[in-house]
Each structure stands twice: as C-alpha cells, then as structure tokens.
C-alpha cells in the first residue's frame, strides 16, 4: 500500500506539481522532473513490478485490491503525461514561430543554401525541419566532440573549459553558424555536460558548430565572475572559431535556468566594459538569444519564492547585502537591461515550472516586446517542468526543432539583407 501511494503521488506530481511555494518546490521538482519528461520509463518499470507482485500474491484482500487500484491510477497519470508530451509542444512552438516571425517564416528558410560533402551529406547550413531519432541525438556528444575539440577559453583552469561540437565532415575553411550554450545550475554548478544535448546534437547534425562552456561558480566565486566568463567565451569564439570552420560573425547564445539568465544578460549587454575586465575591446555581441526557463529578475522582493531567492543570492552568489547593494542586483537583471536594438530573442518556459515561476518569463517577454525592434518570441510549454530540455523526451526534441527553425530564420534574414558574407 505504501508503495502504491508513493507511485500515485509521484505520477500526480509529474502531471501537475503538488507545490510551488517555498523550499518544498525543490523536492517537488526533483521528483516531478523526470516523471514529467520520461513517464514511459516509470510506467514500464511499474507494470513489470506489479506483475511480479501480483504473481507473489501482494494484491489479495481489500488492501491488496486498493493498492492495485492506486497503482493503476498512477499508470493513467503517466499515460496522460506521455500523451501531453507528444501532442502539445509542436502546436505551441509553431504558434510562437508564426506569431513572432510571420506566416511565411518557413518560406524564408527555403532560401538557405546547402553544400554536399564528399560523403554526400550537406556540410553547409540548411533548414532544420526534421528530427533525428531521439536515441541518436541526446547522448551523442562523442559523435561531435573529440579530445582536440575540448578547449580552454580563459585562465581559470577547468572552470574555463569548453567543448566544440561539430560534424566531423564539416570543412574547416567553411563559415558555419555558431551557438554558445551556457549551462544552468543555480550559478553553483555551471558544468557543460550533459545539458542541452538534444538541441546541440540537433544543430550540429545539421551543420552548426556549438560551443558548450563551463564557468566559475559560487560559492567559491562571486558575481560577476559568472557573466565575465560567458563574455570571455564569446570573445574566444569571435577570435578562434574560424579555425574550426565556424563563422565569427554569426554567433548566437542559449542557456537554461541560471544559464538562461546569463545568456539573456550577455545578449543585452554587448561589449559592456563592466563585465569584460581585461578584454574591454573584445566583441561580445550576439545575433540571437534563446534563454530557456531563465531568471530575468534579481531585484524584486515580493512574490512567490522571491524572498528565498534573494536570500540565496545574498548568501552564496553576490555575497552583498541586498538592501545596501541593490544596484548590483538591478544591473544583473535582464528585465532591467532591455533595449530597442537587442537581437532577436526566443524565450521558452514550462507552464508547470516549480523552480522559476512562469510569471517571470511572461513579465520579461511582455516588457521586452514594448521595447525591442527585433522579434521577441515566447513559447510556454504545457505541462513542462523546469529543465525540460535535458532528457531525451518528445518535448525536448520538438523544442530543439523549433529553436533550430528560429535560428535558421535569423541566419537567412541576415544573408538576404547582405549582412552576412
């Protein structure tokens, strides 16, 4: 009975988070995250175990029947989660693309060239309208990264390592578009593996070069070391990515959670000397940004979980009293850095995010759209928890496809306007 109750509660939590206030949200997320993304793994294991227990006679009597009923209820939740994951992301993502880029956005993608390689596969960039099989694209770093592709972009040892993802038949004299991936982890992890694998595999397989970076993290390091490292990685890409066949004039940026915050902030503060100590002359601008379930507000103290979040920043990240150094927190907030000449943005967030409330993304996009001259796209994914793009799930792969189409559109527009050689 205890096992059946646990399974039912876990499945219900995966279907809809059981709490979104205070520190309990961390437990809600920890258990609900995998359940909400890969429910069929839970379902398969539960069915096999239920068969084993049934043969053993565990479901005899009233309590046994009740336990079986609860177990079956958990299966219904898991099936509902899987159906939602398969059927709901694509319409929402397409609606975001159409709203932000226009009904003819797919026609723009048709203008992108492709060049056949000796192996017969395209080596240039081309529209990313199809998906590689999930099993092939998530745990496939070795397909795109070898030992010589792990580089050091700064002076801080392992904290400044990065992986360069590229297809092995991509010509080194080419000019492939580039994406910098900034990992999440509450500004306390910042490790490049294994985050955003579905997206980077999807793009690398289609001719992109992706750079997945580490950065200095708290509490060993203090803000703004985190964003300084992101800027330093951008500077390294602009100076060196041509050696790998990348185009230093077309560099986009993405990241999830803390990485979403850093990606958005980097895109909104190009060449800002405050965040580029010792390399103020370096170009750190980007052509597009894709922040995913990010934090965009470091200064608001009221609202769900805000007090706990500000306290976390005070103790571990900024290490400055909020009431005395509010300017640091304000400057670190992407929502306070909005500008009319910002590059195109595509913001993605989960409807059921129990770590960073979805209202924060809605507010960021709402204010951004009143300022920006470039498109600001927004997709709120039904039923999605925090970190929905890490597992090899239908939602992760459909999101990767949509992000690829957005970046393709930006690339095609620049080429068509003669802004890109």
The reply to whether 302 belongs to the active site is: no
What is the CATH T-level fold of the domain 89-297+333-416, as seen in this structure? Rossmann fold (3.40.50)
Mean pLDDT, range 70-94, rounded to an integer: 96
Q: What is the pLDDT of residues 113-158, one digit of tens each?
A: 654 443 444 444 444 434 444 444 445 666 787 767 899 999 999 9
**pLDDT at site 114:** 56
What does residue 182 show for φ and ψ, rounded to 5 degrees? -105, 115
CB proximity list for 56: less than 8 A, separation 6 or greater: none
Percent of the chain scored above 70 by pLDDT? 90
What does residue 350 show for φ and ψ, rounded to 5 degrees? -85, 140
DSSP E strands in 259-387: the ranges are 289-292, 345-350, 376-381
- Residue 128's nearest CA partner among 240, 182, 206, 186 is 206
Mean pLDDT, range 242-267, rounded to an integer: 97
Q: What is the pLDDT of residues 309-356, one digit of tens each?
A: 999 999 999 999 999 999 999 999 999 999 999 999 999 999 999 999
Which member of 202, 261, 349, 386 is catalytic?
A: 386
- Cα-atom radius of gyration of the chain, to the nearest Å? 22
Q: What is the pLDDT of residues 273-307, one digit of tens each?
A: 999 999 999 999 999 999 999 999 999 998 888 99
The reply to whether 392 belongs to the active site is: no
The reply to whether 156 belongs to the active site is: no
Range ranked top by mean pLDDT from 6-20, 47-61, 311-325: 311-325
Which member of 261, 353, 397, 408 is catalytic?
A: 353
* Nearest-angstrom CA–CA distance, 119 and 122: 9
pLDDT greater at residue 219 or residue 17: 219
**pLDDT at site 244:** 94
Q: CB–CB of 343/414 below 8 Å? A: no
Which member of 46, 257, 372, 392 is catalytic?
A: 257
pLDDT greater at residue 9 or residue 141: 9
pLDDT greater at residue 85 or residue 22: 85
- Centre a 10 Å sphere on the Cβ of residue 86 and count the other Cβ atoms it contains: 13
Confidence of residue 364 (pLDDT cuts 50, 70, 90): very high
Is pLDDT above 50 for 385? Answer: yes
- Centre a 10 Å sphere on the Cβ of residue 277 and count the other Cβ atoms it contains: 11
Mean pLDDT, range 71-92, rounded to an integer: 96
**pLDDT at site 131:** 40
Q: What is the pLDDT of residues 150-186, one digit of tens each?
A: 999 999 999 999 999 998 888 888 899 999 999 999 9
Find the helix packing angle between 197-204 and 394-416, rounded to 10°. 50
CB proximity list for 272: less than 8 A, separation 6 or greater: 231, 284
- Alpha helices, DSSP H, located in 254-332: 258-268, 306-312, 326-331
**pLDDT at site 372:** 98
* Nearest-angstrom CA–CA distance, 68 and 60: 9
Per-domain residue ranges for the chain?
Answer: 2-85, 89-297+333-416
Find the helix packing angle between 394-416 and 89-101, rounded to 10°. 20
């Amino acid at each position: 009975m205890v096992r059946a109750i646990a399974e039912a509660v876990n499945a219900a939590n995966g279907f809809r988070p059981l709490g979104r206030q205070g520190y309990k949200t961390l437990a809600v997320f920890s258990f609900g995250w995998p359940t909400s993304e890969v429910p069929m793994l839970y379902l398969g294991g539960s069915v096999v175990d239920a068969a084993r227990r049934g043969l053993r006679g565990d479901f005899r009597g009233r309590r046994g029947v009740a336990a079986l009923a609860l177990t079956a209820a958990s299966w219904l939740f898991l099936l509902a989660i899987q159906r939602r994951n398969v059927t709901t992301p694509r319409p929402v993502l397409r609606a975001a693309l159409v709203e932000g880029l226009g009904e003819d956005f797919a026609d723009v993608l048709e203008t992108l060239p492709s060049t056949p390689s000796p192996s017969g596969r395209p080596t240039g960039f081309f529209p990313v309208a199809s998906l590689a099989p999930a099993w092939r694209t998530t745990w496939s770093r070795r397909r795109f990264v070898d030992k010589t592709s792990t580089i050091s972009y700064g002076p801080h040892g392992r904290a400044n390592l990065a992986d360069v993802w590229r297809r092995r038949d991509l010509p080194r004299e080419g000019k492939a578009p580039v994406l910098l991936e900034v990992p999440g982890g509450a500004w306390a992890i910042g490790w490049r593996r294994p985050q955003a694998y579905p997206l980077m595999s999807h793009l690398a397989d289609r001719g992109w070069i992706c750079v997945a970076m580490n950065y200095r993290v708290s509490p060993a390091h203090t803000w703004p070391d985190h964003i300084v490292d992101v800027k330093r990685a951008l500077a390294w890409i602009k100076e060196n990515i041509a050696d790998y066949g990348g185009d230093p004039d077309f560099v986009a940026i993405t990241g999830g959670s803390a990485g979403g915050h850093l990606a958005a902030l980097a895109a909104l503060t190009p060449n800002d000397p405050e965040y580029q100590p010792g390399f103020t002359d370096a170009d750190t601008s980007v052509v597009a940004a894709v922040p995913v379930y990010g934090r965009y507000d470091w200064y608001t103290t009221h609202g769900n979980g805000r007090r706990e979040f500000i306290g976390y920043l005070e103790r571990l990240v900024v290490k400055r009293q909020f009431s005395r150094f509010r300017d640091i927190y304000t400057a670190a907030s992407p929502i306070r850095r909005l500008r009319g000449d910002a590059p195109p943005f595509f913001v993605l967030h989960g409807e059921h995010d129990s770590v960073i409330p979805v209202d924060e993304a809605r507010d960021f996009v709402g204010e951004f759209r009143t300022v920006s001259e470039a498109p600001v796209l927004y997709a709120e994914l039904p039923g999605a928890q925090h970190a929905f793009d890490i597992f090899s799930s239908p939602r992760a792969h459909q999101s990767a496809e949509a992000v690829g189409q957005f970046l393709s559109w930006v690339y095609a527009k620049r080429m068509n306007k003669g802004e890109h050689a």
